[in-house]
Structure 1
Amino acid sequence: MWRKTIWLMGLLMMAAAKAQFYHNIVNRPFETVSNGPQHVIVVDIDRVGRSPDAIDRLIRERVERATRAQIAGARPLIRLYKQMGLLPADYQLPIFHTVILRQNGRLILPTRTRDGGLGNGTLTIQVQDGDNPFPRDYKDFLQAVASNVLALVEAEYGKAARTLTITVVNYDDQMADRDAVVGGVYDVSNSRFLFAVYGSREAAAVNLLYLIVRAFHADVGFAYDAWEEGFARAVTARIARGNAFRQLVAQILGVRPEAVAPSIDLTLDNNYDARPYYDAWNQPVLGSPSFIAPSLRQSPIQPGTTGGIWLVRYLMATSAWLKLATEYPSFFREFNTRYYARYTPGLEGNIPTLRSIARETLSALSGSATPTVEGFPFDQWYRQQYILDTSVTYGRKLHAQMFPYISNPQPDEQAVFTVFLNYFQTIRTASGGWDEALLNGTSYPIYWDFHYNRLTLSPQYERVDIRVGTGTVVPSFTGDALANQRLTVDFSVGTEIARVVYPSSKVQGTNFRNNFFGVVYGLDNGSVLIDIGGEQKTVSVDNGAFGTAFSEQTMSRERIARLTFFDAQSREVGRAQVNTGIGFQFVIVRLQPASDSFRLDLPAGLSMFSVPLRPFETDWAKLLNIPADQLRLAHWRQERFNYVYYPETPAPAPGVGYFIRTVNSLSVTIQGEPAPLDRDFAIALQPGWNLIGHPFKEAIDLRTVRVVHQFDAPVSWESATESIGNEPPLVGSRVWTLGGAGNYISTTLLEPGKAYWVRVLRPEGVTLLIPPPSRGRSHVASSRAAEEPAWAMDLTLQSPAGGAVVTLGLDTPTRARRAWAKADAPPALPGMTLLGILEGDQLLLQDTRPLGGRQVWTLQVVPGEPDREHTLTWRIPNTRRAWRITLENPVTGERIDMRRQAAYRFTPGGVQTLRVVLEPANRLPVRIVGVQVAATRGNTLTIRYQLTGEATVRAEIRSARGDTLRLLQPSRAVSAGTQSLTWNGRDSQERTLPPGTYMLHIEAMDSEGHIARAVTPILLTR
């Protein structure tokens, strides 16, 4: 089924991929470079020419089609917002687009007046009637806003890039969609706004302001949404939150400023600003070159390819830049001044240079060579804002939005909150671009208390069904045992995992509602002093959770919150700074060391490895100091049943395993954020094979790992490998890694820097809980000896490309049916030498059969380098001499007595099979009986005889003196039964022998060393 899904999605992407021109030419995380604007709809007008009416129709067609597809992806999320009261039931989300025309492959830029240089322009906004006039009073309102707001924009954003006259015309929206409207279109090429008629004048004013801010960059806008949309929306929010804008709108409407404030705030909260939720929503999967999937921007739009996370991305980008501007209010104006001064074509898409300009701007504003944001150096802070990562990362992704309040908490509820899950996939298109698709799935949340004991909640909260990319759950935690502590929820789908944390009893209750709350790592119990705008509160920290209520006045505007934490003995243990949003603030604070290092040492050749921290450098090529075009890095994706290769591999993170092939040995010191040591590390696994990494810097015993299936309680690793009733085990009994000879070996120790194969046997998947080293050194009594076959023979294959080992076993029928008796082979990386035991369509590394009669194992050899010599060696344990063990090569017909030889050399030209036959030997020595010689046409003699048992047979023609004249059969293994040979009466040089009597000598040796000989005279008459 999954193959069909991937195939269909691939077809859907192909048409859109053909139209996707602009992409990252450098795709390093947080350091990308684009070859053009990725944040706009490019409309090719080659077929319609420059006819204004035809261009209008084409623009409207493209915009409406994009809007319909875009809202289709976000509709489940928007309707959930409405159900939860986060949006009014009749609210229509305004969707904005920027359009640039292109003809003959060249972008059509606006006609510019001479303005004395870039960044010294002036905008003139004219609201026109056109073919579809605005209502008169609405037109006058828009014109009044446009004419008076320009000064406010210049104060915040500086002078416009160009001197332009922009017309505003009515966009007659015919979509009739109850959830969304086309809020406005900025037509860059024609310097105009296509604007909607809003029922709310306040919303119209805010959204017109946004388009005006967008036009300030004109044709030199940044190539990425994270910057262009982030800047424009942040500036819009800052202006619209200000008194001057509210007074302006109120004056035009003839009302008091406080009358317009609620509608303006609602517009900003719904479409622009998510700072109160920022810490909870800031997750790595947010990053993208464009917030909307390319299949929505470029025609034709394919069904089923819409990305539903675009709304969250817009909110988070705005919020990130707003947080920076809280400390540096003039940042946007000062940045633009430097940007215009240094502008050359291409700068708008060069993130490293844009970051450098931002750093210079902050240095000038702060007077420091190392400016900080929220207490972190700017470059470090920037990399912590995942929405600002403009690189493409491929694969399935899961994002969790947590909303901390509900409308009516019950008396015994210590915690209740809403979580929206977004599940989607970033796919590489045929042209080398990217696209996104919404996915279906099921998540079985794992709820943890502060001590990481699994919690059992109501069955309603044990499963989250995700349809068209969206799922929701509102878990409720009741009882005094769950009061005043940091709660954790792990949501997983397949191998993707998203974590939500929540401070129980610190957010709301039946008689209180706090507006500043959060969780802290690095302090379990103590207190925190919180200073926001001069108002101070000291509150307790209980099991990592805290919360309090500040005055409405304090929380009514953005501010800097400074937190100082004290332990139970009132000693200061750490500080944090949070730049807040409006109304309330949820925070996540980490006091433990934010950085650590790990030395990764790998030999030359093929290795399986991992990194036990989250590196600050997220590009593998730079992290390992290997040129990108020489990096051979791979990761297994079970849903594709194939490997993905750099740059499509997941970003470095604890818990993820990789293959790498290097020419030389590798030694690199990696800096990054370590996995927390106060709790288990959760790794979500999907059915089938999973390539994982050890998440900690110290080794742990595999037997201390626990496994969670659906909503069951965690079980030990040993229990997870056993069948219960008619149910299969949760996981395979063996964990595999790569040995020094390039072969898979099983292990019971998880070591730092190494990667491991784990096979999941349940279709729902499982979650591994890997304990930190302080709890992972347990010396559990090993049952591994009991999981070894009574008789086992290892066969080792060696080749120039590496080696492999398989185990053939015999045991009692009962034990041979145990789960450990057969061990599946993990997927081999292309180019690896593979040796496995065929069983149906599966390849095994161990196959234990029941003791008894004849057994035949079929081996499959997959050479890493065909047509080169391979050597198979074996060691036969103490075995009854009554057993014969034979190796057969069906290609050459060779039969090797494995008791008499310990190695076999062969040269496979491709995939090849060998057979190992084990059978009881005859108790009587082998005999040769019934030898007959008969002449046939052409002076050819046919020789027949019976062999009473399997043996190694040699046959030759000798002279009367005993000299060997012709070797009829070299020594080779032969089965019991009738045998036949032919002789043409010639010697070994094909010379005709003269008439006379010659001797046929046949010699057979069985596995016990018994020898049988037979001699028969042959008379040649002519």
Structure 2
Amino acid sequence: INLSIGGADVSDRPNPNDPLVRLVLEAAQQGIVVVCGAGNSYLDGNPPISPANIASVSDMVLAVAAVGPRRERAIYSSARPYTTVAAPGGNSLETGNLRDGILSTVVRSGYDYYDGTSFAAPHVSGAVALLLSQGVPARDVKKLLQDTAMADGRAVPNDEFGYGIVDVYGALRRVATSALVVSPTRGQVVETLKPVLEFSVTNTAPRLVTITIDGEQVPASEVEANYVVDSTGKVATIRISRRLSPGSHTVRVTARNDVDPNITSTDEVNFQVIPRVLRAGRSMVSFPYFQPQEAEPTRSVPAEQWMGSGFRLYRWLPREGRYAKYSPIFTPRDAEASFEGVTEAVGPEGGSPTPPVGLAYFVDLDSDTPVNTEGQPVPAVPYRIPLRAGWNMIGNPFPYSVPWVTCEVETSTGVRLSLLEAVDRGLLLPHLYRYESGRYTWQTAPAGILHAWEGFWVRAFADCTLVVQPLAASTTRSAAVPAGEGWQVRLSATAGKGATAQAIVGASRAASDRYGREDVPRPPSLAPYVSVHVVNSEWGQQAGKYVQDVRSASSRRHVWQLEVETDQTEQPVTLNWQVLSQLPKDVRITLVDQHTGRRLALRPSGSYTYNPGGVATRSFLLIAEPNMGQNLRITSVRVRPSRGGGFQIDYGLSAEAQVRIQLVDAAGRVRATLSQGTRSAGLHTAVWNGRDQAGVALPAGSYLLQVEAVNSEGEQTRTVTPVVITR
């Protein structure tokens, strides 16, 4: 019986002379469970409420308090010592949000939202009905609901929640027969060819459980051998491993009640086995599965067992300052770049080492290659990765992405620090390098994500241990300089065989002209490569080559010493640039090739190509300085015939600019173009041979000579001068 009625009383114990009390007690004596709303009088002095207070003297009567949508005590809900449990009753009275109430039917009016223990009690009445339907004796229902209620960390019992918030599922699990496929979940894509299938059953026995995989029944002896019962004796877990081919699969579990075998429960899940595919070319990867050798369970099977023979592995050894290389078909085969020969003690906290999990490798592949592993993910516990002073290649040990900032660092003396605390103490840099589509990108803590199956560079200044927490990431955050605080320019370099690299320079009010957290050093290169970086040789202990160097926006002039390095010395190298944050109009940026002396304004142009000529390193200056705001003008244009039918063109510039000269016919068609490149302020001369772009002499007639100039701020000007050609 559900009783959503009541009124104030004088005692927590019921009045035996009250007619309603006598009726409730009589029902209880007849084996009927009575559920009462605890009352809505907390704000009216919180008096005892009848008939809810009968719960203090009868195991057949329950008093139900109310909680809001965030599991908080509803502001109105009476709180007395006899409270049994709490259930959803709405709390819009406190929040002011109507939808924080309980949506209920209204006589002749459809639906509306309400608050009250009158709406909490029916939740518990429904739970009681479900338990009774499973054969639970009426006298045991109250204790079962109390024992399984969720305390949410509170000390129970208490006046406000009783023994906690009712947990219908938990209570049913104690008494009902259930069968559940825990893993894989419905529609899940499994990457390993030998997944662990996990099942949970209640109130049954091994002989009463049937499991099928793609219609084939698992032997009863295997079910019994893997049947593990929890401390209550009611819930059992069964884990079975099977090698499955790539494709779709179905698992089914059925459990029969251990008292009445006619009561059954069944669950079925469809899932897919699809091995991870590594793409052709070079990638930086980690392998989040451990597959031990049968004879040596602490050593991994060889990489050949997963990827065949068409691969090459590279791993940086910080103590030796070199790359270890391994391939099944090439020599030398360095064990430190293999799976089974790695000596790094990476592994789950409290467990045995499980390399290659937690390590990163560069992998070169001639074609797309599936990773046919039969391994298992490591346990969902913190994972320890030793870091050496210098550059370290680390991998995400879990098959899901993890926030970089949630990692911890343990010092050589055993002190555990947060990542940002370790950065502040100078143990490592906050930057996380990722290799994407042939080039590095990076993020700076608190931003950054350890993506599943990917490897990363981390720079440490002392030996320590990175502890990766098994916390799944949901979103990423940008590490760019915030809008309005400065500007940035991204420079990228491309050379031969698709080798690419990038660097960022800029200015910010939050930065300084010395080393800061926003400055990012360059990790080691692996052939074939190209690198563009800033050389900071005067930064003391932090001196080196940087792929991001952000200076103070308060300084009026900055000069970055750029270098481009490549082992593709016979291939042309192209520098491209892109403004990431809006450059102020009063800032001019110029690129100077120190080999040729050529100067190029960045704002109107977008790239620069040079030939290394067998030299690995090319030096540049990148200069950011105030724009003096001179108006760009072209003056003193004069065209004079010269020998051989050619012409000499004289012109003057008021400021440095890029110059282009074109000859246009009467129909507006461009017949010849002279690209002058960047010219400084002053007088200049260009020579035209009198021929069109195909090398044919232009016929006699009238033409227009256009001289165009564009400065580093994008300011443009043009002059037009008539030219008469006679033959």
TM-score band by shorter chain is 0.3 to 0.5
Higher RCO (Cα < 8 Å, 6 or more apart): 1
TM-score by length of 1: 0.35
TM-score by length of 2: 0.47
Q: From the two aligned structures, give the one with the greater helix fraction.
A: 1
